[in-house]
């Protein structure tokens, strides 16, 4: 059973993410087109791209997000939020779950519960929070907490960061089981320019034992 799981990262290892950017001229804000591809030009799933402004901090988001649990899966598998976002962990299954995280960005646990806990959890520290269920080992999900409002999930290997204020940004990418982060790209965004950035996903990280189950959907 383990063996079949091991194949997944092997495939991932050869992924190459390519981001292509198109420069256009908006009125007051620029747009960054990001492309994430593996080495063979295939799309890297569940990648999160985000642009972190240099030299300045942007106001924390006062938002709320939801990490649902349904059919013994976390939905979504990858949730990107800005620091300061509160996340609710509703349990849509009729069985209990025990959600936990050992990630330094936000260690927590929600011991066996049903329904929606009364209070959402605040994610104020940037980092990747790996979620698990202590009852169901195969359940896993990632909450990518970034210090910028400019982030996007690059479904099908493409993401567009829109309404970006001019300035200097470090564009970064994260994807599940990432071993070494593709080199962040620093760009200057002026006016309503449209900037294209591309990443090639490198080797995947050490095999996550529960990865297969964590995906849940293909």
Partner 1 sequence: MAIRSFQARLIYLLIAVLVLLEAGTLISLYVAGQRTLRGIIVNELRVGARVLERILDTRAKQLSDFLRVLALDFAFREAIASGDQPTITSALTNSRSRIDADAVVLIGLDGTVTADTLGGRMAGRKFPFASLLKIAEERGEASGTVSFSGRPYQFVIVPVLGPRPIAWICAGFEVEDRVLADVRHLTSLDVSIWTSSAGGIPALMSTLPPEERNDLIAQMSGMSSPLQPVETTMQLGNATYATLMQSLSTADGSHVNTLLQRDLEEARRPFARLELQIIALSVLLLLVAVAAAVTFARTVTRPLRVLAEGAGRIERGDYVSPIVLKQQDEIGHLATAFNQMQSAIAAREDQIMFQASHDALTGLPNRTLFIDRLSQSIIAARRYGPSVGMIMMDVDRFKDINDTLGHHFGDQLLIEIGRRLEQTIRTSDTVARLGGDEFAVKFTADNAEHAAQVAARVGTAFDAPFVLGDVSIDVNASLGIALFPDHADDPDTLMKRADIAMYDAKKNHSEIAIYEPGRDEHSIRRLSLMMELRQAIVRDELELYFQPKIDVVTERVVHAEALIRWNHPKHGVMRPDEFIPLAEQSGKISLVTKWVIRNAIKQCAEWKRNGIDLTVAVNLSALDLFDSELPTFITGLLSDAGLPPEKLMLEITESAIMKDAAYAQRILAEMKRRGICLAIDDFGTGYSSLAHLKRLPVDELKIDKSFVLNLTESATDDLVIVRSTIELGHNMGLVVIAEGVETQESWSILKRLGCDMAQGYYMSPPLPASKFSEWLASSRWGTGNG
Considering only residues 172 through 201, tell me which ones interact with partner 1, judged by CB under 8 A.
177
Give the range of 58-66, 114-122, 187-195, 210-218 binding partner 1 by CB under 8 A.
210-218
Decide if residue 211 touches partner 1 (CB under 8 A).
Answer: yes
Q: How far is the CB of 161 from partner 1 (least distance, A)?
A: 27
Among 3, 27, 28, 118, which residue sits at the site for partner 1 (rule: CB under 8 A)? 3
Sign of CA dihedral 119, 110, 205, 39: negative
Distance CA 126, CA 184 (A): 16
Give the range of 14-22, 48-56, 102-110, 152-160 binding partner 1 by CB under 8 A.
102-110
Decide if residue 209 touches partner 1 (CB under 8 A).
Answer: yes
Query: How many chain residues bind partner 1 (CB under 8 A)?
Result: 27
Distance CA 23, CA 8 (A): 36
Do 198 and 17 form a contact (C-beta atoms < 8 A)?
Answer: yes
CA distances from 29 to 80, 135, 162, 164, 198 (A): 22, 46, 8, 5, 20
Q: How far is the CB of 131 from partner 1 (least distance, A)?
A: 8
Give the range of 146-154, 165-173, 184-192, 206-214 binding partner 1 by CB under 8 A.
206-214
Distance CA 23, CA 87 (A): 34
Continuous H helices in the chain: 2-13, 211-215
Closer Cβ to partner 1, 19 or 141, answer by number: 141
CA distances from 197 to 11, 29, 31, 130 (A): 24, 17, 11, 27
Q: What is the DSSP letter of 8?
A: H
Give the range of 79-87, 114-122, 131-139, 160-168 binding partner 1 by CB under 8 A.
131-139
Give the footprint of partner 1 on this chain (CB under 8 A): 2-3, 5-6, 98, 100-103, 107, 130-134, 137-140, 177, 206-211, 214
């Amino acid at each position: 059973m383990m063996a079949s799981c091991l194949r997944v990262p092997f495939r991932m290892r050869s992924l190459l993410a390519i981001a292509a950017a198109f420069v256009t001229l908006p009125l007051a804000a620029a747009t960054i087109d990001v492309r994430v591809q593996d080495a063979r030009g295939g799309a890297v799933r569940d990648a999160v791209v985000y642009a972190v402004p240099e030299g300045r901090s942007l106001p924390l988001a006062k938002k709320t997000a939801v990490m649902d649990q349904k059919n013994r899966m976390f939905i979504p598998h990858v949730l990107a939020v800005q620091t300061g976002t509160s996340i609710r962990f509703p349990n849509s299954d009729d069985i209990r779950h025990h959600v936990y995280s050992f990630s330094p960005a936000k260690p927590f646990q929600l011991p066996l519960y049903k329904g929606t806990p009364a209070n959402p959890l605040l994610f104020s520290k940037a980092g990747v929070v790996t979620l698990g269920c202590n009852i169901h080992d195969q359940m896993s999900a990632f909450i990518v907490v970034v210090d910028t409002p400019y982030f996007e999930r690059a479904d099908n290997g493409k993401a567009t960061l829109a309404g970006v204020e001019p300035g200097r940004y470090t564009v970064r990418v994260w994807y599940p089981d990432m071993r070494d982060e593709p080199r962040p790209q620093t760009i200057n965004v002026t006016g309503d320019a449209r900037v294209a950035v591309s990443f090639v996903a490198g080797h995947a990280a050490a095999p996550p034992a529960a990865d297969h189950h964590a995906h849940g959907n293909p």
